[in-house]
């Protein structure tokens, strides 16, 4: 079979600068605002774990007026922290034009490119999600760090944080500090019900300027974004000004609820920032708290879906299905004998017509499940049995921008 070498185009607006480079709650009000109208019920899927309960909510808003944003900041600011991560570094960064597009961290030397050294200090943001010292941030803020210091408002010295759970794919991380008393915490709002055009407030530590506040609106929703090997599938776009050091900080609505975690920015235009929506956090957080990672079914193929044009260019035997561009070594697909150039036409007897459909089919499976994959290989129809594996919690570098499953 002729190898597939065609580059699959995708919109790349950021540059991944995680491990070895620049590495960079839960619903409605907390006790900081006793006059809040939110109704909280403390129910938790982790009732038998040592973690604080996760609050569910009834949406509420502060009285709208000239002091609304100031009141949100007064209420939520004490729960926002600065994170300083020490990352071993053996090589210097290139002067890529995308250098600052992944704005989650900031060099301790003021943002300039570092020279070759043994360690690198990066700065990001985070926020407490319960009163026991658990906090949420971006994975890229602390990825590869050997020491994580957390600066909490009201304390003169930094706390040393431990990792509770990390997820490379969604760029989320949970940390914990041991504070001498209960800490203020934020609560996750409903990003799904947040409309485009709604006001948004960001609090963070851009360029080490602690507790900087900016405001804007939700500019768009469900934005896909590829930064290096991270493929974000569903981001909020905001016009609130965000810069290096903001990553991991909260994006808030006017009720003081977290609706997103600030994560990326485009340097090609002003007022174009991105945040992970709380709808994603709600899906990931329980597993991070319970297991320390996310269990995802994984096939291990990179695919392309413009099968009709590729059928002509590469003399593929069919224009139906999705084309395997590459197979990850030592993956379930590789172990089952799937190869580049084959066209996946069915999964468990169900016709496959797009990458989205293939992803949905794989996502519904369980790790260890045996699955039949039907492929067209040079005009021959073959069915191969694949044992679904667990997706690695780390970077998987595709040969192009083709989606990975």
Answer yes or no: are the C-beta atoms of 138 and 173 closer than 8 Å: yes
Catalytic residue status for 293: no
Please report, to the nearest 10 degrees, the dihedral formed by the alpha carbons of residues 236, 239, 241, 243 taken in order: 40
Q: Where are the alpha helices (DSSP H) in 270-400?
A: 278-290, 307-313, 332-335, 355-363
Catalytic residue among 125, 140, 219, 279: 140
Nearest residue to 227 (alpha-carbon basis) of 181, 266, 173: 266
**3-class DSSP assignment, residue 286:** helix
3-state secondary structure 181-208: CCCCCCCECCCCCCCCCCEEEEEECHHH
Torsion angles phi and psi, residue 83, rounded to 5: -115, 130
If one counts every other C-beta atom within 10 angstroms of the C-beta of residue 348, the result is: 12
Catalytic residue status for 140: yes
CA distances from 234 to 22, 280, 281, 311, 343 (A): 23, 8, 11, 30, 27
The span from the CA of 283 to the CA of 389, in Å, is 20
Answer yes or no: are the C-beta atoms of 72 and 201 closer than 8 Å: yes
Catalytic residue among 76, 122, 139, 171: 171
Please list the residues that pair with 387 across neighbouring strands: 370
Catalytic residue status for 46: no
Catalytic residue among 23, 247, 279, 404: 247
Answer yes or no: are the C-beta atoms of 92 and 98 closer than 8 Å: no
Nearest residue to 34 (alpha-carbon basis) of 184, 258, 191, 259: 184
Instruction: Look at the block and give the residue holding tokens 């800490």.
Output: 183
Nearest residue to 256 (alpha-carbon basis) of 38, 81, 107, 66: 38
If one counts every other C-beta atom within 10 angstroms of the C-beta of residue 313, the result is: 12
CA dihedral sign, ordered 104, 107, 111, 114? negative
Residues in the chain: 405
CA distances from 27 to 47, 242, 286 (A): 17, 23, 14
The span from the CA of 25 to the CA of 127, in Å, is 7
Answer yes or no: are the C-beta atoms of 298 and 389 closer than 8 Å: yes
Any idea which residues carry the catalytic annotation? 140, 171, 247
């Amino acid at each position: 079979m002729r190898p597939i070498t065609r580059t699959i185009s995708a919109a790349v607006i950021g540059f991944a600068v995680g491990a070895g480079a620049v590495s960079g709650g839960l619903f409605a009000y907390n006790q900081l605002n006793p006059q809040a109208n939110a109704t909280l019920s403390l129910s938790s899927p982790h009732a038998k774990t040592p973690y604080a309960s996760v609050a569910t909510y009834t949406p509420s808003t502060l009285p709208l007026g000239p002091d609304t944003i100031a009141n949100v900041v007064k209420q939520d600011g004490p729960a926002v922290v600065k994170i300083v991560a020490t990352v071993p570094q053996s090589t210097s960064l290139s002067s890529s034009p995308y250098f600052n597009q992944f704005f989650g961290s900031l060099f301790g030397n003021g943002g300039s490119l570092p020279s070759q050294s043994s360690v690198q200090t990066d700065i990001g943001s985070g926020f407490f999600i319960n009163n026991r010292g658990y906090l949420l941030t971006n994975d890229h803020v602390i990825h590869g760090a050997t020491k994580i210091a957390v600066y909490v408002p009201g304390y003169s010295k930094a706390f040393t944080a431990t990792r509770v759970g990390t997820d490379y794919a969604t760029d989320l991380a949970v940390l914990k500090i041991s504070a001498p008393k209960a800490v203020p915490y934020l609560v996750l709002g409903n990003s799904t019900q947040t409309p485009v055009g709604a006001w948004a407030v960001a609090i963070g530590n851009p360029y080490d300027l602690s507790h900087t506040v900016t405001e804007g609106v939700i500019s768009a929703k469900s934005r896909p974004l590829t930064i290096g090997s991270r493929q974000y599938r569903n981001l909020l776009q905001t016009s609130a000004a965000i810069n290096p050091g903001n990553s991991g900080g909260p994006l808030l609505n006017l009720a003081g609820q977290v609706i997103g975690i600030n994560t990326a920015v485009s340097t090609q235009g002003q007022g174009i920032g991105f945040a992970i929506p709380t709808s994603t956090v709600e899906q990931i957080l329980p597993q991070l708290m319970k297991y320390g990672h996310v269990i995802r079914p994984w096939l291990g193929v990179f695919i392309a879906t413009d099968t009709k044009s590729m059928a002509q260019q590469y003399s593929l035997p069919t224009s139906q299905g999705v084309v395997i561009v590459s197979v990850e070594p030592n993956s379930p697909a590789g172990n089952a004998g799937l190869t580049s150039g084959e066209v996946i036409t069915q999964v468990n007897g169900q016709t496959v017509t797009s990458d989205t459909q293939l992803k949905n089919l794989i996502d519904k499976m369980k790790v260890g499940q045996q699955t039949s994959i039907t492929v067209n290989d040079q005009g021959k129809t073959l069915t191969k049995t694949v044992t679904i594996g667990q997706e690695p919690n780390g970077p998987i570098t595709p040969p192009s921008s083709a989606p990975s499953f």
